Structure 1
Amino acid sequence: MTSAPSQHAAPSGERAPAPQPPPAPGPFGRLGVWSATHARAVFVLWIAVVAGLGAFAPKVDSALSGAGWQANGSQSVAVRQIAQDHFGGNASTALQVVVHADRPVADPAVRKVIARAESLVRADPRVAQVLPPQPGATVSPDGRTAIVLAGAGTDPNTMVRAADDLKGPLAALSGGGITVHATGASVLWSDFNTANHDAMMHSEILSWPVTLVILVLAFGSLVAAGLPLLLTMAGLGASAGSLVLLTHLTPVSIWAMNFAMMFALALGIDYALFLVMRFRAARAGGTRGTLAAVAETMDTAGKAVALSGATVLVSLSAVMLVPSPAFRSMAGGIMLAVVFVLAATLTLLPAVLAKLGPRVDAAALPWAKAGGAGSPRFAAWGEQLWRRPLLYGGAALAVLLVLAAPVLGLRTAMPSIAVLPKDASARAGYTAVQDAFGPGTPGTLQIAVPSAAAARAAEVARHTHGVAAVLPPQQADDRSGWSMVQAVPSVDPSDPALSGTVHTLRADLPPGSLVGGASVENLDLQRVLTQKTPLVIGVVLALGFLLVLFALQAPLVAALGTAASLLSTGAAFGVARLVFQDGHGAGLLGFTSQGFLDGWAPVFFFAMIFAIAMDYTVFLLAAAKEHHERTGDPKAAMTGAMAHSGRVVFAAAAVMVAVFFTFALSGPLPPKEMGIVLGAAVLLDAALVRLVLLPVLLRLTGRAAWWSPAWLRRVLPDVRFSHG
């Protein structure tokens, strides 16, 4: 009896084709396989990293600084240093203790409170010379308000911590018709950091339940939904500890941790979504082993995540061009968080996925579908866009252009004292000083001048428009050759007219004169930000384009992705102008419009928004390139990208919008600006750009979108997103 021939047997006289081996994994696939096969080592390494660096994390609130909002190399910073070194610390960072009474300050009870206030600040080693109230200078004309000056004996960041410690005990001296408030720039930053920290904590409490619900709905299972939290906690613990260690080398703004926390959460969700969805698809049908699924996931989604992380880092690195310690440390803090989240995504997550295998879908929701090659809903949406591109693309473009149009009238300035709560020490003291001495007194200008020209400088200041009063020149006691002239402006420090007064003084004062003071430091920082913003925007756009071009090797696609990101960014700032400059919705959000957007917002928010927008761009275009490499068909590239990445973009954007918009519900004005601007940017970018306009542009450009000149293909390495 002869056996039946195999259904795979070759015809007579022909050799049977050799079975095709699985495709060899690329560099990212090999990294994923290594992490999967060495899972224990990966887990131990990450536990060591998070535990080692995380041990420093509880110190983050006390270690990180609150100052650094200055333009390095400016006249105002030079004046501050001169005042600290040669005038008993009577610099812009000095503490001002304002004592106001319902009777003259010469009253014995008031004098006793003033003496106790002097003793309190004199006992602090961070305070240099203490100047008691001086009639005609720091005692008000009505005799009911006096100011004790506590000179800055150390750097600005340490003086903010001194304000943290002293403002409470000083306020406790109030009573019996006498009020005591600490004020000045250091107290302002202390109060602002406190209000900002409280707002951040409140917003995070509000956002976490919403985030968890969206994650469970997006992943369809409780186990999978926990993976972004794993990445977030690893990134946050490591980055927080790193920031504390970094403070031993350079001051780091407390805002660095706030922004790092937001980006760690946002990117942890983005990256986990992208990899987990791809891992499920790779395992769909049960025909592929776990290691093969990990390799495919990392060679496709892992490569896209690496490119996305690089794009975010490149965008934020441009902020380093701004010569301000606060800006640089904030950008550095976010970059640290991105590095740790990215490293965890490319090593820890593959190891966890390999261990979970099919259990990644455990505790699934009743209606959730495990695995799958894509989203049927977004696949259908891609088909709809392909059939009617002009209708949908034109509508999306019109909305974005209408929202972006108000940018043409956007005004910026440094925030005023009004960003603080009314009961904050700095604001209460500021108001008391204005009521007693005049509107410009809190912004008193400090003119450092060579002693030989001091009398002339005082005369020039006295005859300068916008100057209400000039105090007699004070000569340094250490024979440094410097004298200090203090000029009181006639307008509030936040009044735009002050800038003209400072400009006139700098032009007319004797050679060698330097104009500074707390209000001038703000003006100098605003000037630098205005100068550097075009440069930062240009560098971000150029580097973003080059990075996408490097990955996709298609000039038109790279240009379209970059331009689309710029469009959504412009629309977000248009919304910012309508809300914060024009005041639309101010009552609903609980703030009073300043008539401008805070000066630090354009340059910093642009880098952040562009980084997030390019994050989504990379996910969408990487998926499109993968399908184009497989089929060579522009339609398959566009519709396939929508099917595979549309759900990821939608879910990740939903989480980000929920997180960012919670910051608009509480706290001082700057966090509200951050929440509205970033939330609007993500909403517009995901809803109108990534899920409508960019796919439509791929439809309209067709094969030209993926064309690349021969010389460019020779220059660039062959980066592919398909697997096998």
Structure 2
Amino acid sequence: MTSNTAEVDKTRAARADGDGQPPTASTGGLLGRLGAAMVGRARWVFGIWLIALVALGAAAPSVFTSLAGAGWQANGSESVQVRELAQEHFGGNSSAAVQVVVHSDTLAVADPEVQQILADATAVFADDQRFGEVIAPQPGMSISPDGHTGILIAGANAGTDDMVKAVDELKGELGELSTDEIEVYPTGASALWSDFNKANHDAMIQAEMLSWPVTLAIMVLAFGSLVAAGLPLLLTMAGLIASAGGLVLLNTVTPISVWAMNFAMMFALALGIDYALFIVSRFRDALSKSGDPRAAVAETMDTAGKAVVLSGLTVLVSLSAVLLVPAPAVRTMAVGIMLAVTFVLAATLTLLPAVLGKLGTKVNAGSLPWAERQQHRSPRFAAWGNLLHRRPWPFAIGSLLILIALSLPVLGLKVAMPSIEVVPSDAPVRQGYELVQEQLGEGAPGMLQIIAPASEAEATAGAAAAVDGIAMVTPPQQTMDGSDHVMLQAIPGVDPSDEAMGSILTQLRSELPEQALVGGAPAENLDLQQALNDYLPLIVGIILVLGFLLLLVALQAPLIAILGTVVSLLSTAAAFGVAKLIFQDGHGAGLLGFTPQGFLDGWGPVFFFAMIFAIAMDYTVFLLSTAKEHYERSGDPKVAHVDGLAHSGRVIAAAAAVMVAVFFTFALAEPLPPKEMGIILGVAVLLDAVLIRLVLLPVLLRLTGHAAWWSPAWLRRVLPDISFSHG
């Protein structure tokens, strides 16, 4: 027997059940005892969950109308300061103001019919406290040179989230002002987020509806039993209802982005099914051996339950790093996923064991013809493991070459905040935007706002006009409250999403007097992008370190913890490489039905990295915890390698199939960001499951042998005692 096996035996002998006695075969460790307790108190578990779901479910239906619609800003940035000053001193004429574009091919803005439409639009805003001063179209500023297009500005007298809700409520009434001769379109940043959030919500709901039947079909194929296949969906539904209601309640404390629910829906479905697959699969195997549902639940939770807990912690830790980004929308998207994962994890550790204990052998009810031939130890994956054991190098080299080749394009990846093209072409905000560009110039929809001391008004105007790329600077506007500030509007000569906007903003800020501040919607986007870029290396570093530490604590083996963390980077890099080819270069754009922006949306690297790494570590935990369990029992690295794959391969393949199906349904969405999200995450899961978890990581176990599971004595003394074997 090797020294490693001796350590395993010594650890088992020392492990006690809380009172100094060895654990019983029926309950095992802490999670085993928890699982057995859930079975013994199933009525209490069902009752508590029913009360919680009814209470949270009452709030859940309002989730998409209650949550915040904005928050895409870098808190503390210069552009946010400008917006706050504009709202305080200039009647709300800030980036959050609503712009109403009025256009006629036959009538001029000065004509009575158009003036009546402008008066009617002003009346729409008059009784709403969320709006400040209403500024009529001004010649030379907000009336086109031909006189046929005017922009009425309704100042923002509330926060950005309230302004988006205001547009949600009023844009229908504003649109109804259009006549056969006069077109009326609400536009501006608040209207943009209103239209985009609606398009995004519709796309997410459509994708969810498509993914459920596909998911059920995969579950039936994986389990061969209708009852067993339905359990993951039951768990997921509980997680979705609880997280939706939880977000609504949390939104009463602090604004939560509506995007938080979008991501929560996706992750509750994907991870809920992952966890239930692992637990239900292991339960069926344990039940077939013991015939005792309570003992089978205890064994399941003592083994697979530990892997689920570790996976959930890894997801939570990865996403917690995103909270460092000083952008409310980005932070609350992470909060939404974390809340969903917390509820799914809680249901997996309490509700699912209780249900399994009550079902017992009925978990196999509705079995399909091939179900009885299924074994937890898959002969096919065992044969695959043996093949990898005999010929590790060709598979290692082949998978590495594919992953590296797909990763190389990431070196040319460009990122920027979304352009107007992320909303459908028939959305009112896009129609108004394009009309303003056509009538007032390419950069007119993205005017930069400059606020300076009144004493420096002339110097500021002159310096701004001299900046290369600025087409026009409006005369200084005095404050409405008598404070010592002026506002100027600098109209760029390029589209607000043009790459040149970055250098124009940088030059403008460097050339203006020291006390002058530059903001506006394009500046807010660029400041947010800069914050995302600045925080990316820190977030990546934190996620990698914390991921490694969690694996180290769980596996008690530094080498395999390092390898498990590093290989997760390969699927992430490859996914972003594919994203660059599709969304930046436009390969396959026609097939997927979108127009490439020439860049990836700016929040993608930070947020998708955390999500992809969390999912990758999910599969890493499932594979390595199973391999560790067999190594603890046998002390043989070949048994750990082959049986680890034989017992977890089918679950990993089924879970990956579900995730890929769920994520790829979002590729059908019309708005570009959900499409990006679905394709990037789907490609990442596909590459990770096929090339890393089922090829590269098992090969690394084969090549490292005993060293994969070795740990120095001092480290074993420091780390908590965790074993994945039962008994």
User: Could you state the TM-score of these two structures normalised by the residue count of structure 2?
Assistant: 0.96
Corresponding position: 1:246 with 2:232: no
Match of 1:391 among 390, 394, 398: 394
Does 1:674 pair with 2:671?
no
What SS is found at the alignment partner of 2:154? strand
Gaps spanning 5+ residues in structure 2: where? 1-21
Q: Which moved more, 1:161-170 or 1:299-308?
A: 161-170
Correspondence for 1:358 among 358, 361, 377 = 361
Identity between Structure 1 and Structure 2 (%): 65
1:461 aligns with 2:461: no
The Cα shift of 1:373 comes to 3.8
Q: Which residue of 1 is the match for residue 142 of structure 2?
A: 138
Counterpart in 1 of 2:662? 659
Q: Are residues 370 and 449 of structure 1, via their aligned partners in 2, closer, same or farther at CA, if it must alter by over 3 Å? A: farther
Residue 281 of structure 1 contacts residue 371 of structure 1 at CA under 8 Å; is this kept in 2? no
For the pair 1:581 / 2:587, whether they are aligned, the reply is no
Cα distance, 1:591–1:163 mapped onto 2, change above 3 Å: same
Q: Matched residue of 2:102: which SS?
A: strand
Give 1:10's aligned residue: none
Contact 2:26 2:294 in 1 (8 A): no
Aligned equivalents of 1:474 and 1:524: distance in 2? 24
Structure 2 CA distance for aligned equivalents of residues 198 and 416 of structure 1: 19
Instruction: Spell out, residue by residue over 1:126-165, the C-alpha distance to the aligned partner (whole angstroms, 9 max, x if none).
Output: 2111111111211111100011100001000010011111
The secondary structure found in structure 1 opposite 2:724 is: coil
Note the 1:281-360 alignment, pairs <5 A: 281-285=285-289, 287-360=290-363
Per-residue CA distance 1:437-481 (angstroms, 9 max, x = gap): 111111101111122212211111011111111111112132332
Counting only pairs closer than 5 Å after superposition, residues 420-435 of structure 1 correspond to structure 2 as 420-435=423-438
Q: Which residue of 1 aligns with 2:701?
A: 698
RMSD: 1.3
Aligned pair 1:622/2:625, yes or no?
yes
Q: How many residues are matched?
A: 705
Q: 1:279 aligns with which of 277, 283, 292?
A: 283
- Of residues 198, 204, 208, the one that matches 1:204 is 208
Q: Tell me by how many angstroms 1:710 deviates.
A: 1.1
Aligned equivalents of 2:231, 2:487: Cα separation in 1: 60
Q: Which moved more, 1:26-35 or 1:663-672?
A: 663-672
1:688 pairs with 2:691: yes
Which contiguous aligned blocks of 4+ residues in structure 1 show a shift greater than 6 angstroms? none
SS at match of 1:56: helix
CA distance in 2, matches of 1:452, 1:83: 18
Aligned residue identity for 1:153: N
1:288-327 residue CA offsets vs partner (Å, 9 max, x unmatched): 4221111110000001100010000000001001110001
Displacement of 1:421: 1.1
Aligned residue runs from structure 1 range 418-567, under 5 A: 418-567=421-570
- Contact 1:378-1:643 at 8 Å conserved across structures: yes
| Aligned position for 1:195 | 199
- Amino acid of the structure 2 residue aligned with 1:702: G
Query: Shift of the alpha carbon at 1:259?
Result: 0.5
Q: Is contact 2:23-2:29 (8 Å) kept? A: no
What stretches of structure 1 of length at least 5 have no aligned partner? 1-18
Aligned partners of 1:95 and 1:186 also within 8 Å: yes
1:10-29 matched pairs, under 5 angstroms: 22=25, 25-29=28-32
CA displacement at 1:370 relative to structure 2: 7.1
The one-character-per-residue Cα deviations of 1:250-274 (angstroms, maximum 9, x if unpaired) are 1111110010011111111111110
Other-structure match for 2:3: none
1:39-118 equivalence runs, <5 A: 39-102=42-105, 103-118=107-122
CA contact (8 A) 1:553 1:708 kept: yes
TM-score (norm 1): 0.96
- Aligned-pair CA distance for 1:371: 7.0
- SS of 2:372's equivalent in the other structure is coil
Deviation (angstroms), 1:537: 0.7
In structure 2, the partner of 1:713 is: 716
Q: 2:156 aligns with which of 132, 152, 155?
A: 152
Q: Contact 1:526–1:599 (CA<8 Å) still a contact in 2?
A: yes
Q: Deviations over 1:503-558 (max 9, x none)?
A: 11111211221110001100000111111111111111110001100110111100
Task: Give the letter for the 2:249 counterpart.
Answer: L
Identify the residue that residue 178 of structure 2 maps to in structure 1: 174
Q: 1:608 aligns with which of 604, 608, 611?
A: 611
- Equivalents in 1 of 2:326, 2:591: separation in Å? 36
C-alpha separation between the residues in 1 aligned to 2:487 and 2:194?
27
CA distance in 2, matches of 1:435, 1:294: 67
| 1:319-341 deviations in Å (ceiling 9; x for gaps) | 00111000100000000000000
Equivalent pair of 2:26/2:298 in contact (CA under 8 Å)? no
Q: Does 1:184 align with 2:188?
A: yes
2:35–2:297 contact (8 Å) kept in structure 1: yes
Q: Deviations over 1:362-416 (max 9, x none)?
A: 0011111277341111111111111111111211111111101111111111111
Task: Provide the residue aligned with 1:4 in structure 2.
Answer: none
Residue 223 of structure 2 corresponds to: 219
Aligned residue identity for 2:493: S
1:237 aligns to 2:241 (yes or no):
yes
Conservation of the 8 A alpha-carbon contact between 1:283 and 1:371: no
Structure 1 CA distance for aligned equivalents of residues 376 and 150 of structure 2 = 73
Equivalent pair of 2:72/2:528 in contact (CA under 8 Å) = yes
- Once residues 668 and 498 of structure 1 are traced to their aligned partners in structure 2, the CA distance between those partners, rounded to angstroms, is 23
Q: Could you tell me how far apart the structure 2 residues matched to 1:541 and 1:22 are?
A: 37
User: Secondary structure of 1:472's partner?
Assistant: coil
CA distance in 2, matches of 1:327, 1:487: 29
Match of 1:719, SS? coil
1:14 maps to none
**SS of equivalent to 1:483:** strand
Task: Name the aligned partner's letter for residue 494 of structure 2.
Answer: V
In the alignment, the residues of structure 1 paired with residue 448 and residue 502 of structure 2 have an alpha-carbon distance, to the nearest angstrom, of: 11
Q: Which residue number corresponds to residue 381 of structure 2?
A: 378
What SS does structure 2 have at the residue aligned with 1:469?
A: strand
Residue 237 to residue 42, structure 1, CA distance change in 2 (3 Å): same
Q: Aligned partners of 1:358 and 1:481: how far apart in 2?
A: 78
- Alignment match, 1:5: none
Query: Structure 1, residues 7-29: CA drift from partner, whole Å, max 9, x if none?
Result: xxxxxxxxxxxx99636510000
Contact kept in structure 2, 1:561 and 1:617, CA below 8 Å? yes
| Inter-partner Cα distance in structure 1 for 2:295 and 2:448 | 68
